[in-house]
Structure 1
């Protein structure tokens, strides 16, 4: 199992971040940069679109407001003519007044909206509204007084001045390079038209002031010059030619005649009407082109904003999808690599090692399966490197298993040689015991017999370490449990300290006897070794639940700490592979191996109420027979003299 990281530590350093987070950050940096740059461009285009929208509104407002200026100019002309004719027949004046009032009523909401959207127009709009508010006084002057035409013209001209200025201010607000020329041209035409209508009125009422006529002509020429200067070559061809025809020539000739005080009775209407028609045509043409161009530019800018915003979002979404797909591919490969690595580490490699240990290091049938990633990029290279590591680990494990088996073979060979010598030694000692009559010598022979038996047990331990079976012939007939216990006691050096308290009347199956004797002897040896020399080690046996045989060994030794005791019980239940640490506790390792061989349960427990350890051995009922008696081959080949069964005291 892999170690888990603390949640807070995972974000403490970029090296702890997951690959998904790192890829997201890698995408985030250029994504933010693209978003900022694209946002700036879109903002500029949106600002341009807004500016062009304002231009369209200004052009539309100027077109509406120009009708007011033209209507007031017409009212000025009609009122001056009405005053020059002794105020007879005011039908034209009333028609002009109605036209002005209608135009003013229609343009007021437009002016209010412009003031809200562009505060810089507040002052000129206020001045124009004040001028329009004075119309009533001027009209009263015209209809109820005997004011001369010149006074009427002066009062109306004073009203028209802020109106014309507002009209030009609206056009000056058009501050876009593509259309500002047309706006300036239209402003020049508006000024020229105002002067043309003033000249028309001055000439129509008779006896005009030469200085006033010359000043008006100068302003008219300036307006026309501004108009021509603002146009480009193509626009000049389309519009300037409209006011360079015979109408303007006839007007100039009429003006010169009037200034020379010649032919003052001539009707100026045809001349000025022709000139006004030319001006109106040019003005309408310029205004139409200005309105169409500003609308087209506004629509283009708006479309550019939408298109660029869509392209930016599409680019970001495409980048996110591409990075997501790449990240998904990488993460999927990494997950496969991680899953495969964990499977190798936790299942496949341990199984292969176990199989090699079972097969004696034979690696021929073992095929190292690839982790399953065959790509040629870095992850595939890591996967192939891991496959190489896996293969090498299996090879080394096979070599280690082979080496271990070779060592085991050496153990078996040495044990076989020693076993033969010990067997001859035991036979010799047994013969000496039969012929010896001296009790002292006989006691020494008994001790020598026990030492030789212990030497044989040590040799058998080597066989167990090597995984080999006991060299002694397996018994065919059952052996009483009491004889098994006595045989186990006889195999230890300090057999006199062991008291066999109780033994049930059951017999142990022959094939299990030798290993059970060996197992109990190892536990007794540990009990006598790790307890005081003068203390007693108690060995008892009883029938357990389910018909099992339970053998208990109790000592009053130093005891074992709980953690170490738990580790020892785990080793008894599942003996580890032989190593140096196992050699230091060879007795318990042998116990575990022998118990595992016959499904015998061995458990170590603390002694109740005092120091020491109680070892419990539970032999399955399948190896037991009730009421069996030893057969002809009961001889356990161990010195059991002087090892009685001591009845357990009853309470």
Structure 2
């Protein structure tokens, strides 16, 4: 390196460091702006439509209760309200889809729960149309739970990064709950107006709702409302409609005596209550809308302030970078004539630092103090050259310290990731055990099908968690104590992919794998099969063939999909032969994470994996399992051989015949999800799979 270049480096490094700091600061501000803007957009697209759903569900709940209590009454109002509710739900379903993938997990879960509950609405309406007093509590409970789910979505949307918006949103959520308490009282009383009586259970629920709305309003809403909205609340509560409502509620809260049937008389007039509710409800809705608009406006103002901050920070930071770069260049040009003696040692530092970083990547311990003493310079100052030597020493120490810290953080992150993945694997194991218990307990075919799907998804999740362990430098948690037939391993891998019915297995002979190779080979095959299914269109098959070769076992996975060009094949094979050190954070968006997992396992267990073009236009992957990972299988105990099929068969049933008429089959754990399409003549003769 020339002296000019060395001084140029000294001039550029501070500017680059400041530029990086400026970029990070501006980038973080930009991310905050984008995140808050996205949250505000999501609140408009999911929050405001859900408000309309909330209002309409409350009204439909009341009208449904009236319809069940008065079977002979006209249902025109209920029919009209159902149409309004359906329209509101349709708007909510369409708008909440816009940014669902970018929303926080809490919001996504709340939206999913709300949609799931809304899907049950037609069935509940059927119960209402069928009539009967027995349906009263069932229908009421459904609508109440659905509205509570909607309110939980409000709460999730209020948890944003902007603290001011969150603070303003909480009284709004509590006000929604207060109105819900009033609406619950209205719906329960609608059951009793025709008969003039309420059951003691219904009366208790009314009392709890009255107490709940009073508590919400007094402690969580009114103290936190702005002055103008607090005045509106006071005007509402001092009005005649609210007074009439409160008077009836006080009667219901007073002592009553139940008759022999367990019912109490309603000491109130339905018309008075209806007029009171018709007066109170619009005022409450108006107050809620005002509060919602205030929260949304605050969020928009905050976003604009953040945008202004981002612009100012970027401009000032850029000016600072320019000033620092220009000043540094001027100073280094003046020092150029006096640093010629340090050129050789500066070059040594340039060569030594990458070596230290490489040693750190191999896990070696580095003594920062020992490595930093490359240039002799007194600690008590000196002339310009000695001080420059000290500065170089300091720069070297800082770089080494940062490298050591980064290496330690990386290793710590890997260990932390392994621990988290291990704990998740334990939970997955417990979930599989629980699913197995449920499968044995339930006999309903529809329930069993759902449980089997959950079992299948959980098995895939277990493999994904093992991917985290492997990528972070660990080994799969599952262990086998005995050798396993390759056929079972292939079936196990087949069972851990989604579209397993397209997988065709072709096994030549009856090879066995050692207990050490079962997990890695099954994991590698599952990743390859899943990759093949992902890049090929249904219903084209994915063929998995296995046979004994001179150096071990050869397993081929071939698809008829998009295929890979020569450059992609070369990159994949290079990855298989020389797996790099995997930085999980740096590759978190890499769609080839599965290939990194395969490369890690192949390198760890001595497997050879090669990607080739397929004659069908797709990709053919050959996995060579060395002889040391295979074992001779047992020769005793004939095993039934599946018959060959002309094409990929549907998944066979794995449920034994019922022991008695009407009994449901039970699932046998460990069975494959599809059969083998071809076996060698030797396997047919010996009876081994």
TM-score normalised by length of structure 1 = 0.44
Between Structure 1 and Structure 2, whose CA radius of gyration is higher? 1
**Larger helix share, 1 or 2:** 1
TM-score normalised by length of structure 2 = 0.42
